[in-house]
């Protein structure tokens, strides 16, 4: 398998529709498992958190395949969104994106915090990448990656 060419591109307001479709495709299976899938609610949630200045397209070999949203929140970087199109999952693209965020966190001396749905495959992914579960509610599991975990690596 040849090496993937991965990079970020900025998000603009006009990207909302494409990103709403991507988010829906990425989350649908996990939300259906919880009995929570609603196309309307999915779009509303993205709209309420749509901050193009904090968002990046994840691009693989010239194709937009994912979305990353990250911004400072308190003493940490908040990873709000990391979505990959279903056909782009399992290829190392998400791992590459997480490593980019970790590099930013190290440069800023900040932890990374995020939330994931229970019963989502994302939980195994985050644990595998050094995140520690720090809490749980009915529809969210809370994780934190301590910047100190990446200092000696």
* DSSP symbols for 5-33: -EEEEE--GGGHHHHHHHHHHHHHHHHHH
Q: What is the pTM of this model?
A: 0.87
- CATH of 6-150 given 3.40.190.170, 3.40.309.10, 3.10.450.630, 3.40.630.30: 3.40.630.30
**pLDDT of the chain, 153 residues: tens digit per residue:** 468 899 999 999 999 999 999 988 887 776 666 666 667 777 888 889 899 999 999 999 999 999 999 999 999 999 999 999 999 999 999 999 999 999 999 999 999 999 998 878 889 999 999 999 999 998 899 999 999 976 644
Q: What backbone phi and psi angles, to 5 degrees, belong to 64?
A: -75, 115
């Amino acid at each position: 398998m040849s090496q993937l060419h991965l990079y970020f591109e900025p998000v603009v307001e006009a990207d909302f529709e494409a990103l709403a479709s991507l988010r829906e495709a990425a989350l649908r299976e996990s939300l259906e498992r919880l009995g929570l899938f609603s196309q309307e609610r999915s779009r509303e949630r993205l709209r309420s958190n749509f901050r193009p200045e904090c968002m990046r397209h994840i691009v693989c070999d010239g194709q937009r395949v994912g979305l990353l949203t990250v911004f400072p929140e308190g003493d940490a970087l908040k990873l709000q969104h990391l979505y990959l199109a279903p056909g782009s999952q399992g290829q190392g693209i998400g791992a590459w994106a997480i490593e980019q965020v970790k590099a930013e966190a190290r440069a800023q001396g900040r932890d990374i915090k995020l939330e994931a749905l229970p019963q989502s495959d994302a939980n195994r992914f985050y644990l595998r990448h050094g995140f520690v579960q720090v809490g749980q509610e009915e529809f969210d599991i809370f994780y934190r990656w301590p910047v100190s975990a990446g200092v000696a690596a």
